[in-house]
Structures are given as structure tokens and as C-alpha cells.
Amino acid sequence: MTKNELADKLNHLDPGATLAVPRGVLAALFGTGALTKEAAAAIEAFALDHRCTFSCEHGAGMPTFEKDDIF
């Protein structure tokens, strides 16, 4: 997956829908080997650009994007 493909998926999510993306995929997309605090901050900004929120609990579960429910 590329950043453009991720952006397209986020843009096409229905309001309130979620998209889970494996940690390794996100780390590679944002140029790191692991989801560091800096990478997570860049991903959060990317998510906001696509009207989503990003959540990633350290060590638990898969990172998730959720589409804002208000347009």
C-alpha cells in the first residue's frame, strides 16, 4: 500500500466507519521501522487531513482510523 492508496481509502470511508492497518504497514508508509511517537504524530496529522482520527494503543490491537461522522 502507498500513502496515496491509504488516502484514497480514508477519503472513501463512510462517516463513523473504521479502517484498521497493520503497524508494520503504517511504519513503512511513514518511513520508519516501527511506530514511534514521531511516526504516530505524522500519521495523526495525515488522518486529520482526510477527516479521520487515528488511534494506536501501544502494544495492543491494530492501529485504526475512524472517519469523522460530521461533514
pLDDT tens, 17-71?
999 999 999 999 999 888 888 999 999 999 999 999 999 876 667 899 999 987 5
By CB atoms closer than 10 A (0-12, 13-18, 19+), residue 23 is middle
Per-residue pLDDT at 71: 58
Binning pLDDT at 50, 70 and 90, where does residue 6 land?
A: very high
CB 20 within 8 A of CB 60: no
Q: How far apart are the first and last CA of the chain?
A: 26
Rounded Cα–Cα distance for residues 37 and 70 (Å): 28
Domain residue extents for the chain: 3-67
Q: Answer yes or no: pTM beyond 0.85.
A: yes
Q: Which residue has the higher pLDDT, 5 or 33?
A: 5
For residue 10, what pLDDT is reported? Answer: 97
How far from 49 is each of 8, 34, 58, 60, CA to CA, in Å?
A: 12, 22, 23, 25
